[in-house]
Amino acid sequence: MSARFTITRLGSQGDGIAGADGGEVFIPFTLPGETVTAARQKDRATLMSVVETSPLRVDPPCRHFTECGGCALQHFEADGYRQWKRERVVQALKIKGIAGQIDALVPCAPPTRRRVVFSARRTEAGMLLGFVRALSSEIIPIEECPISLPAIVDALDPLRRLAGLVCATPKAFHMTVTATASGLDVAVHDAGKLGENQRRIASNFVIAAGLARLSIDGEVIVEPKKPVVQFGSVAVALPPGAFLQATEAAEQTMAGLVCQHLSRVKKIADLFAGCGSFALRLAAKSEVHAVEGDAPALAALDRAFRFASGLKRVTSERRDLFRRPLTFKELSGFDGLVFDPPRAGAEDQSKQIARSDVPLVAAVSCNPTTLARDLRILIDGGYQLKSVTPIDQFLWSPHVEAVALLEKPKRRR
């Protein structure tokens, strides 16, 4: 049964929140000030109709919006959307008692996303390839995607056919597609074990379709062209399924902020270094020690450095920084540091940085909550927050990147 609700604000995931008997109700695809009818299930409700529309509501650009679980906020006017997303960072810091300069949100233009994770499953009606509906396991097949690079969208049909060729399971599986300078890199996970005939047919299809590589559960099946991306002036051959920032523009913005902050530093530690998106750029002016737990990513970074020219020395260390963070004593040899952890943040590592005398630190994060926690640790350890720049790498989603720049004044003797 549906009921009428008035939306008072947006929640952290972009859902409209209405006060009601029995507590707050979260209603996706609504905006503050709107009156809507919705079917309630406990603390969530499914939007039925918008009775009174917010002036901030706009027509979504994608036919799959509200079904596909990829985007939450296509209906939100651009200026209001950007203000809300910046406010996510502001509020996360405020909760931890952190005040400081928070810049305007760096916007994200459609269509620029270069790394997309599709879900796929074989059905009686054919092969499904798309995105999972929010809070569901249902795969919504897609025909367009206004956030993704045209190279990926234009390949939807051959990608769907390839999914059918590699599918050896009745269950859903994932297909990560990355646009590189060499073409599309396709990494399949949990599709089942392929027989020799399937591998041969899939390999021939990849070659004919002009794809750069197909890997399954980390094993390269065929690689007609080595998938390569540029980190500054350095070409890096990506390992199968490697992490890569979702948009090239956001990566360049983040790297620009970090490199400028550390521009006069002689020796830098890059923690959670990945394939080297910061380390290889920083090495143009500084010596860099790159620390990363993923062996293939670290090997790609090291290989790129060895084949590059004009860089300062880059050393690398494989290390699980969650289990064994660099200690404050180990950090004593560095005069600059950047860390870019996963969404869980870097709590233990931040505690060691806070005890160190590293004068300049750049903290990069895709999670405002864990960023605020880690910044609080650093500030309590004597660091001064100089600026925070929110970056909208994940267009029309509730997720937001941020780069925080900190300094620690020299201790008086």
The partner residues of 49 in beta bridges, in order of sequence, read: 37
Q: Which of 68, 71, 145, 366 is catalytic?
A: 366
Q: At 375, list the tokens.
A: 């910044």
The partner residues of 302 in beta bridges, in order of sequence, read: none
CA–CA dist 40, 266 (Å, integer): 59
Q: Does the annotation count 366 as an active-site position?
A: yes
- CA 107, 111, 115, 120 dihedral sign is positive
Residues 6+ apart with CB under 8 A from 137: 172
Q: Using CB atoms within 10 A of its CB, is residue 10 exposed (0-12), middle (13-18) or buried (19+)?
A: buried
DSSP 284-328: TTSEEEEEES-HHHHHHHHHHHHH-SSPPPEEEEE--TTTSPPPT
Write down the residue that tokens 């004919």 correspond to.
208
Contact (Cβ atoms closer than 8 angstroms) between residue 75 and residue 142 = no
* Active-site amino acid positions: 366
